[in-house]
Structure 1
Amino acid sequence: MKTMYNRREALKISLLAGIGLSFQSFANHLKTNDKILTRTIPSTGEVLPAIGLGTWQTFDVGNSSAQRKVLSQVLNEMYRFGGTVIDSSPMYGSSEKVVGDLTSELGFKNELFYATKVWTSGKQVGIRQMEASMRKMQRTKMDLIQIHNLTDWKTHVKTLKDWKEQRKIRYWGITHYVDSSHSSLEEIIKSERPDFVQFNYSIRSRHAENSLFETARKYNTATIINQPYESGSLFRLVRGKELPQWAKEYNINSWGQYFLKFILSNENVTCVIPGTSKPHHMMDNMGAGLGQIPDGGIRKKMLSHLKTL
């Protein structure tokens, strides 16, 4: 019988079986002996773990104690593996408050990199929303605030630049999630010089390679990647499919790592933020930041194989 690799069994079948460790001992082994890939924020030279955590839908759990308990484990696993970046937004329901409540209970809360967004129109309304976000996330100073989907960006960019000067925030940025907005992101990068730009990019959705990555590189703008799994469609594509045998030679132990390692093989990617509400998926995601990162030849091989499925 062939071994089938899928997201739900990522660790049981791939990671743990490969090294013969229990779930907990694998985590301890990883934190002690392996170094998660890091990338540099161009505007400052600060080093950032290349894999973080998105909270769209996954952290919108309100006051559910059972779900919050599991999400706390997700945060612990992210940090255990060397991750720090948590990305949220007022658009994400209760996610900001859940992040704030859960991280406030962690001993490493001040070692994390907190990112959220402004998602409204009007200067004063935007200021009130950002202040509310900081209260919900329990931060007196936010690491990064981004303009969500470019909503009223000309207004908010002025506020964010002022806030950075006042040291209310460390960085500011802009975001979107569709190819058709890439040209707008580029124009804003050229004119306003944000510290970060967040956009969609995946093994099958590579429009950003046309010019957006190069523009970000030229203007010293860090890149955060959303939609790395294309809202789950990549996993549906490979459901029931066997991971190619050659993948393990490149430290690719699951389909999730296959997709993330491809993204990380682009040196212009600063950080990718897959969302999850499951600790073992968090472990699998972080595993993509370990070991060999595919070079140009392996990237082509990964692309070619995916086209055969």
Structure 2
Amino acid sequence: MEYVTLGKTGLKVSKIGLGGIPIQKIDAEGTRILVHKLSDRGVNYIDTARGYTVSEEYLGYALEGIRDKFVIATKSMARTREAMAADIEKSLCNLKTDYIDIYQVHNPSMEQLDQVLAKDGALEALQEAKKAGKIGHLGLTAHSVEVFERALDLDWVETIMFPYNIVEGQGEELIAECKKRNIGFIDMKPLAGGAIENGTLALRYICSNPNVTIVIPGMAEEHEMEENIKACLDSSPLSQTELDEIRKVREQLGTNFCRRCNYCAPCSAGISIPNVFLFAGYLNRYDLGEWARSRYSTLQAKASDCIECGVCETRCPYHLPIRKMMKECAEQFGE
């Protein structure tokens, strides 16, 4: 296994880690088996979240007796001090540990980030927990380039997680800036939510970028683990055949694929357009229908609320047929 230093955290982590979303598809015992196999193969980084239903709980069971072999990262969508403090305690309980290596602010909007940073905001609880030894390091995850760029200037941010893959390169310059500032960059959505079928190609592409610190594909089965590890440890240059396939993937997905840049906002009907497409991706590609529907149900405005004004389409840099895509999402979710 290849190990790298995760930016200013100083933590030594494997080049590949476990993304904890698919844990929801297996049971606690299956998670234990997978985690032990990861340990045997030298993988020492696990990412999960309060929002991933049973993921923290299953991982807590799986880590009993081998907690010290892993760097554990989790995250919360809490924005206030009180809510974040409660989530930190819940994470500690679920993960059956007295400390969490990295705790992340989970996907805030610019407005929500203001709340996190304000008096009685979530950051106060995170810093208090860090001072108490319950948290080792602080990070932030984002889907918005705007939030990513802002996070670079926050002195408490030691790691940033953002989507980067064959068809999502909107954060590439900011990823390079992470390297310059010694901020650990954690790559999520390496297979674009499952849209990219060739996982080996996807991971080879990501690992060819020296600015990516660690990549965390979701894994639920041993064969996925073996394929992913092999791809990440293959340091040979991308072949012409691979470059040609990368070009084809971009041609296939690039014209009809939401990169969650959020340039389409604000929606006239109050719809969070990128989140609708994000949850639709989970519904259609991750085999996580129930979870995707539960997340979708939290949206104040649904796809069916689209008034077809078309303003969003004039802002989309990728010229997506958003109105048509919204109709499809409304049909898939039934609202």
Q: TM-score, normalised by structure 1?
A: 0.72
* d(CA) in 2 for partners of 1:220, 1:299: 30
SS of aligned partner of 2:62: helix
CA contact (8 A) 2:100 2:135 kept: yes
Q: Residue 101 of structure 2 corresponds to which residue in structure 1?
A: 143
* d(CA) in 2 for partners of 1:168, 1:298: 48
CA contact (8 A) 1:228 1:274 kept: yes
Aligned-pair identity in percent equals: 25
SS of aligned partner of 2:42: coil
CA contact (8 A) 2:82 2:122 kept: no
Q: Residue 259 of structure 1 corresponds to which residue in structure 2?
A: 202
Query: 1:308–1:212: structure 2 CA closer, same or farther, 3 Å change rule?
Result: closer
Q: Residue 164 of structure 1 corresponds to which residue in structure 2?
A: 130
Q: Deviations over 1:23-56 (max 9, x none)?
A: xxxxxxxxxxxxx222212214332101111111
* d(CA) in 2 for partners of 1:291, 1:284: 11
Q: Residue 23 of structure 2 corresponds to which residue in structure 1?
A: 59
Amino acid at match of 2:17: G
Query: 1:207–1:298: structure 2 CA closer, same or farther, 3 Å change rule?
Result: farther
Question: Which of the numbers 150, 153, 166 marks the counterpart of 1:187?
Answer: 150
Amino acid at match of 1:42: G
Q: Residue 17 of structure 1 corresponds to which residue in structure 2?
A: none
Moved more, 272-281 or 184-193: 184-193
Question: Which of the numbers 87, 100, 103 marks the counterpart of 1:129?
Answer: 87
* d(CA) in 2 for partners of 1:298, 1:194: 39
Question: Which of the numbers 41, 59, 74 marks the counterpart of 1:81?
Answer: 41
Query: 1:218–1:52: structure 2 CA closer, same or farther, 3 Å change rule?
Result: same
CA contact (8 A) 1:262 1:294 kept: no
CA contact (8 A) 2:190 2:217 kept: yes
Residue 156 of structure 2 is aligned to residue 196 of structure 1: no
Q: Note the C-alpha offset of 1:116.
A: 0.6
* d(CA) in 2 for partners of 1:220, 1:302: 32
RMSD: 2.3
Query: 1:302–1:293: structure 2 CA closer, same or farther, 3 Å change rule?
Result: farther
Q: Residue 237 of structure 2 corresponds to which residue in structure 1?
A: 294
Q: Note the C-alpha offset of 1:305.
A: 5.5
CA contact (8 A) 2:204 2:234 kept: no
Query: Alignment length, in residue pairs?
Result: 244
Query: 1:68–1:163: structure 2 CA closer, same or farther, 3 Å change rule?
Result: closer
Q: Residue 108 of structure 1 corresponds to which residue in structure 2?
A: 66
Q: Note the C-alpha offset of 1:69.
A: 2.8
Q: Note the C-alpha offset of 1:115.
A: 0.7
* d(CA) in 1 for partners of 2:207, 2:136: 24
Residue 229 of structure 2 is aligned to residue 229 of structure 1: no
Question: Which of the numbers 167, 176, 187 marks the counterpart of 1:214?
Answer: 176
SS of aligned partner of 1:289: helix
Which structure 2 residue ranges, 5 or more long, are not aligned?
Answer: 253-335
Amino acid at match of 2:206: I
CA contact (8 A) 1:78 1:286 kept: no
CA contact (8 A) 2:159 2:186 kept: yes
Q: Residue 10 of structure 2 corresponds to which residue in structure 1?
A: 45
Q: Note the C-alpha offset of 1:169.
A: 1.2
Q: Residue 31 of structure 1 corresponds to which residue in structure 2?
A: none
Q: Residue 218 of structure 2 corresponds to which residue in structure 1?
A: 275
* d(CA) in 1 for partners of 2:76, 2:102: 11
* d(CA) in 2 for partners of 1:196, 1:296: 31
Q: Residue 117 of structure 1 corresponds to which residue in structure 2?
A: 75
SS of aligned partner of 1:183: helix
Q: TM-score, normalised by structure 2?
A: 0.67
Q: Note the C-alpha offset of 1:75.
A: 1.2
Q: Note the C-alpha offset of 1:117.
A: 0.7
* d(CA) in 2 for partners of 1:112, 1:202: 25
CA contact (8 A) 2:83 2:122 kept: no
Q: Note the C-alpha offset of 1:301.
A: 5.3
* d(CA) in 2 for partners of 1:88, 1:44: 18
* d(CA) in 1 for partners of 2:9, 2:250: 39
Q: Deviations over 1:238-283 (max 9, x none)?
A: xxxxxxxxxxxxxxxxx32211111111111111111121111111
Query: 1:293–1:39: structure 2 CA closer, same or farther, 3 Å change rule?
Result: farther
Q: Relative contact order, CA 8 A, sep 6+: which one is greater?
A: 1
* d(CA) in 1 for partners of 2:216, 2:203: 10
Amino acid at match of 1:140: D
